[in-house]
Structure 1
């Protein structure tokens, strides 16, 4: 799975739920400033990756031997897939102060969408992001909301180098690379 493909399809899925202008854009919230003109919407939700970590629970897998045809006499080994946990931050980014309440409403739409669709399936051959469990090979992606304490929230926005903005943090589990 390619992370950028997954995030792009997630943004498209969320935006498809909303009538009118797309609200979610993929950008690095840490590099945005008040004068940024590259965003297509001046009152949008910015999706940023704030952390990528290894899933320690699934790490203890041993090397396994691939099945090889009987005609081949060489044993081949392959490392198991590495499972990652992505921390995704959805932030209400508004250039105009008057759009503050609109941004919170859009953030609520994202939260509602991910509350109703906590599990996604990534189907490798055509790289589709599906809500309903497909038949055949697929990877399961589980969204979990992360509740940060005030001091943790302060630390996160501090290392992002920005002032606090209304936001919600999700962890996405089971992303094999």
Structure 2
């Protein structure tokens, strides 16, 4: 579910960038993938993957949080004469880091501008996954301040690069089975009262 969500964002972004109106002064033509889904954190033995991320925009999921305002859904609902019980869905907000990993600083800024343009034009994304679940994601820029940004890049183990964080809400998870019962309309008993 998370992977299909992030792959959908990558696909839509790359399609958006290939449109003629979003190409910035001839800087993006001829590239099939501008944004890639990868872990920007520096791990041991990561040299081979570093080459794949060079001169790209990198999308990294940096955290998940539960949407507390939707946590207390009532698990029982009535549909016609049937009472249905199901645990409430888990609603998630995703914090997405878009890092511009380019040798030239001006190219990094140019590509980071594409992220801003994309989310200005696409504040909502609706998509259906392979299990026919439909998701509506709403994006907003998430500011964390200089100190927290420094801490984030320290935890990621790399040097700071031009980046922006977007908060995507609401992705839901619902895997609990349905349990239900029909309304009792009559009672049959074979027991008789002794007189």
Length-normalised TM-score, structure 1: 0.79
The verdict on how the C-alpha distance between 1:102 and 1:64 changes in structure 2, with shifts beyond 3 A counting, is: same
Instruction: Give the RMSD, CA atoms, in angstroms.
Output: 2.5
- Shift of residue 41, structure 1, vs aligned partner: 5.7
The verdict on how the C-alpha distance between 1:102 and 1:50 changes in structure 2, with shifts beyond 3 A counting, is: same
The verdict on how the C-alpha distance between 1:149 and 1:37 changes in structure 2, with shifts beyond 3 A counting, is: closer
The verdict on how the C-alpha distance between 1:114 and 1:138 changes in structure 2, with shifts beyond 3 A counting, is: same
Flag the structure with larger Rg: 2
The verdict on how the C-alpha distance between 1:102 and 1:171 changes in structure 2, with shifts beyond 3 A counting, is: same
Structure 1 position 164 matched with structure 2 position 160: yes
Matched positions, count: 160
The verdict on how the C-alpha distance between 1:16 and 1:124 changes in structure 2, with shifts beyond 3 A counting, is: closer
The verdict on how the C-alpha distance between 1:4 and 1:18 changes in structure 2, with shifts beyond 3 A counting, is: same
Partners of 1:64 and 1:80 within 8 A in 2: no
The verdict on how the C-alpha distance between 1:90 and 1:139 changes in structure 2, with shifts beyond 3 A counting, is: same
- Shift of residue 17, structure 1, vs aligned partner: 1.9
Whole-Å separation in 2 of the counterparts to 1:114 and 1:108: 10
Structure 1 position 153 matched with structure 2 position 149: yes
Partners of 1:92 and 1:167 within 8 A in 2: yes
Partners of 2:72 and 2:88 within 8 A in 1: no
Whole-Å separation in 2 of the counterparts to 1:155 and 1:100: 22
Partners of 2:4 and 2:129 within 8 A in 1: no
- Shift of residue 68, structure 1, vs aligned partner: 8.6
Whole-Å separation in 2 of the counterparts to 1:41 and 1:83: 31
Structure 1 position 49 matched with structure 2 position 49: no
Map 1:24-173 to 2 at 5 A: 24-31=35-42, 35-37=47-49, 39-40=51-52, 42-65=54-77, 67=79, 77-94=85-102, 96=103, 99-124=104-129, 138-173=134-169
Length-normalised TM-score, structure 2: 0.72
Render the CA deviation track for 1:116-167: whole Å, top value 9, x for unaligned.
110111235676xxxxxxxxx8432100101121111112112222221110
What residue in structure 2 maps to residue 131 of structure 1? none
Structure 2: stretches of 5+ with no match in the other structure: 19-29, 174-195
